[in-house]
Amino acid sequence: WVRDAKIGLSDYLDRWYRCSRPVDERQKMIMDTSTSLSILRKTTEASVFKQWIKSRTAKTTVMGSELERYLRLEPQETEDPIEWWMAHQGQFPMISQLALDMLAIPAMATDCERSFSLAKLTLTTQRLSMTTETLEKLQCLKNWVRHGAVKLGATIGGGDEVQWEIGDVSMEA
Protein backbone atom coordinates (compact mmCIF):
# COMPACT_ATOMS: atom_id res chain seq x y z
CA TRP A 1 0.00 0.00 0.00
CA VAL A 2 2.94 2.33 0.59
CA ARG A 3 4.02 2.06 -3.04
CA ASP A 4 0.47 2.82 -4.18
CA ALA A 5 0.31 5.83 -1.84
CA LYS A 6 3.60 7.20 -3.23
CA ILE A 7 2.40 6.76 -6.80
CA GLY A 8 -0.93 8.39 -5.96
CA LEU A 9 0.78 11.35 -4.27
CA SER A 10 3.20 11.74 -7.17
CA ASP A 11 0.30 11.73 -9.65
CA TYR A 12 -1.60 14.25 -7.51
CA LEU A 13 1.41 16.58 -7.36
CA ASP A 14 1.89 16.21 -11.10
CA ARG A 15 -1.73 17.06 -11.81
CA TRP A 16 -2.38 19.93 -9.40
CA TYR A 17 0.96 21.45 -8.41
CA ARG A 18 3.21 21.20 -11.45
CA CYS A 19 2.39 24.77 -12.64
CA SER A 20 3.33 26.21 -9.21
CA ARG A 21 7.03 25.68 -9.95
CA PRO A 22 9.23 28.77 -9.89
CA VAL A 23 9.24 30.78 -13.12
CA ASP A 24 12.90 30.12 -13.93
CA GLU A 25 12.34 26.35 -13.71
CA ARG A 26 9.32 26.63 -16.03
CA GLN A 27 11.37 28.72 -18.48
CA LYS A 28 14.12 26.08 -18.41
CA MET A 29 11.55 23.40 -19.22
CA ILE A 30 10.20 25.51 -22.10
CA MET A 31 13.73 26.01 -23.47
CA ASP A 32 14.43 22.27 -23.13
CA THR A 33 11.18 21.52 -24.93
CA SER A 34 11.92 23.93 -27.79
CA THR A 35 15.43 22.49 -28.17
CA SER A 36 14.09 18.95 -28.20
CA LEU A 37 11.44 19.95 -30.76
CA SER A 38 14.09 21.15 -33.21
CA ILE A 39 15.92 17.85 -32.78
CA LEU A 40 12.68 15.93 -33.19
CA ARG A 41 11.99 17.49 -36.59
CA LYS A 42 15.23 16.00 -37.92
CA THR A 43 14.43 12.43 -36.89
CA THR A 44 12.10 9.75 -38.18
CA GLU A 45 8.59 9.18 -36.90
CA ALA A 46 9.53 6.13 -34.82
CA SER A 47 12.33 7.96 -33.03
CA VAL A 48 10.06 10.99 -32.54
CA PHE A 49 7.77 8.79 -30.50
CA LYS A 50 10.71 7.40 -28.50
CA GLN A 51 11.99 10.91 -27.82
CA TRP A 52 8.55 12.02 -26.69
CA ILE A 53 8.35 9.07 -24.28
CA LYS A 54 11.79 10.00 -22.89
CA SER A 55 10.78 13.64 -22.42
CA ARG A 56 7.63 12.61 -20.51
CA THR A 57 9.65 10.21 -18.34
CA ALA A 58 12.22 12.92 -17.57
CA LYS A 59 9.50 15.30 -16.34
CA THR A 60 8.04 12.60 -14.11
CA THR A 61 11.49 11.82 -12.73
CA VAL A 62 12.08 15.48 -11.85
CA MET A 63 8.73 15.57 -10.06
CA GLY A 64 9.33 12.23 -8.38
CA SER A 65 12.75 13.34 -7.23
CA GLU A 66 11.27 16.14 -5.11
CA LEU A 67 8.96 13.65 -3.42
CA GLU A 68 11.77 11.10 -3.04
CA ARG A 69 14.10 13.74 -1.53
CA TYR A 70 11.41 14.64 0.99
CA LEU A 71 10.67 11.02 1.86
CA ARG A 72 14.40 10.33 2.40
CA LEU A 73 14.65 13.07 5.04
CA GLU A 74 15.16 12.00 8.63
CA PRO A 75 12.14 12.82 10.82
CA GLN A 76 12.53 16.22 12.49
CA GLU A 77 10.72 17.60 15.50
CA THR A 78 8.96 20.90 14.94
CA GLU A 79 6.49 22.88 16.97
CA ASP A 80 5.15 24.82 14.00
CA PRO A 81 4.66 22.80 10.79
CA ILE A 82 3.64 25.91 8.84
CA GLU A 83 6.91 27.60 9.75
CA TRP A 84 8.83 24.44 8.75
CA TRP A 85 7.16 24.27 5.34
CA MET A 86 7.68 28.00 4.76
CA ALA A 87 11.39 27.56 5.51
CA HIS A 88 11.64 24.61 3.09
CA GLN A 89 9.66 26.08 0.17
CA GLY A 90 12.78 26.48 -1.94
CA GLN A 91 13.83 22.90 -1.35
CA PHE A 92 10.36 21.36 -1.89
CA PRO A 93 8.26 23.88 -3.88
CA MET A 94 5.39 21.58 -4.88
CA ILE A 95 5.19 19.51 -1.71
CA SER A 96 5.38 22.60 0.51
CA GLN A 97 2.49 24.18 -1.40
CA LEU A 98 0.45 20.99 -0.96
CA ALA A 99 1.30 20.88 2.76
CA LEU A 100 0.38 24.54 3.28
CA ASP A 101 -2.91 23.98 1.44
CA MET A 102 -3.69 21.01 3.70
CA LEU A 103 -2.71 22.86 6.87
CA ALA A 104 -5.08 25.70 5.93
CA ILE A 105 -8.09 23.38 6.27
CA PRO A 106 -9.71 23.88 9.70
CA ALA A 107 -9.52 20.82 11.95
CA MET A 108 -13.11 21.37 13.04
CA ALA A 109 -15.98 22.97 11.17
CA THR A 110 -17.69 24.47 14.22
CA ASP A 111 -16.25 27.95 13.72
CA CYS A 112 -17.28 27.94 10.05
CA GLU A 113 -20.77 26.71 10.95
CA ARG A 114 -21.05 29.33 13.68
CA SER A 115 -20.17 32.03 11.15
CA PHE A 116 -22.93 30.85 8.81
CA SER A 117 -25.44 30.80 11.68
CA LEU A 118 -24.49 34.34 12.67
CA ALA A 119 -24.75 35.48 9.06
CA LYS A 120 -28.29 34.11 8.95
CA LEU A 121 -29.14 36.21 12.01
CA THR A 122 -27.53 39.30 10.45
CA LEU A 123 -29.30 39.07 7.10
CA THR A 124 -32.91 39.57 8.18
CA THR A 125 -35.89 40.50 6.01
CA GLN A 126 -35.24 44.18 6.81
CA ARG A 127 -31.69 43.89 5.44
CA LEU A 128 -32.20 41.99 2.21
CA SER A 129 -30.68 44.80 0.15
CA MET A 130 -27.32 44.34 1.92
CA THR A 131 -24.61 43.38 -0.59
CA THR A 132 -22.59 40.22 -0.16
CA GLU A 133 -19.44 42.32 0.29
CA THR A 134 -21.03 44.25 3.17
CA LEU A 135 -22.25 41.02 4.77
CA GLU A 136 -18.78 39.50 4.45
CA LYS A 137 -17.13 42.56 6.03
CA LEU A 138 -19.66 42.60 8.85
CA GLN A 139 -19.16 38.90 9.56
CA CYS A 140 -15.36 39.31 9.63
CA LEU A 141 -15.68 42.26 11.99
CA LYS A 142 -18.02 40.35 14.32
CA ASN A 143 -15.65 37.38 14.37
CA TRP A 144 -12.62 39.58 15.10
CA VAL A 145 -14.43 41.37 17.93
CA ARG A 146 -15.63 38.07 19.40
CA HIS A 147 -12.06 36.73 19.42
CA GLY A 148 -10.55 39.96 20.75
CA ALA A 149 -8.60 40.74 17.59
CA VAL A 150 -10.12 44.24 17.33
CA LYS A 151 -11.89 46.61 19.68
CA LEU A 152 -14.52 49.02 18.48
CA GLY A 153 -15.81 52.18 20.05
CA ALA A 154 -14.96 55.56 21.41
CA THR A 155 -14.36 56.82 24.89
CA ILE A 156 -17.41 58.54 26.38
CA GLY A 157 -16.78 61.88 28.09
CA GLY A 158 -13.04 61.32 28.48
CA GLY A 159 -13.63 58.46 30.92
CA ASP A 160 -12.73 54.82 30.70
CA GLU A 161 -16.12 53.69 29.39
CA VAL A 162 -16.08 52.44 25.82
CA GLN A 163 -19.32 52.03 23.91
CA TRP A 164 -19.70 50.14 20.66
CA GLU A 165 -22.40 48.61 18.57
CA ILE A 166 -22.55 45.75 16.10
CA GLY A 167 -25.84 44.86 14.50
CA ASP A 168 -28.54 44.86 17.17
CA VAL A 169 -26.07 44.52 20.06
CA SER A 170 -24.98 47.57 22.01
CA MET A 171 -22.44 47.18 24.81
CA GLU A 172 -20.49 49.19 27.29
CA ALA A 173 -17.17 48.02 28.62
Burial class (CB in 10 A: 0-12, 13-18, 19+), 94: buried
The per-residue pLDDT for range 58-79, each reduced to its tens digit, is 444 555 588 999 999 999 999 9
Q: Which parts of the chain register pLDDT below 70?
A: 19-64, 153-173
This model's pTM is above 0.75 = no
pLDDT at 92: 92
pLDDT at 48: 67
Query: CB within 8 A of 162, min separation 6: which ones?
Result: 151, 153, 154, 155, 156, 172, 173
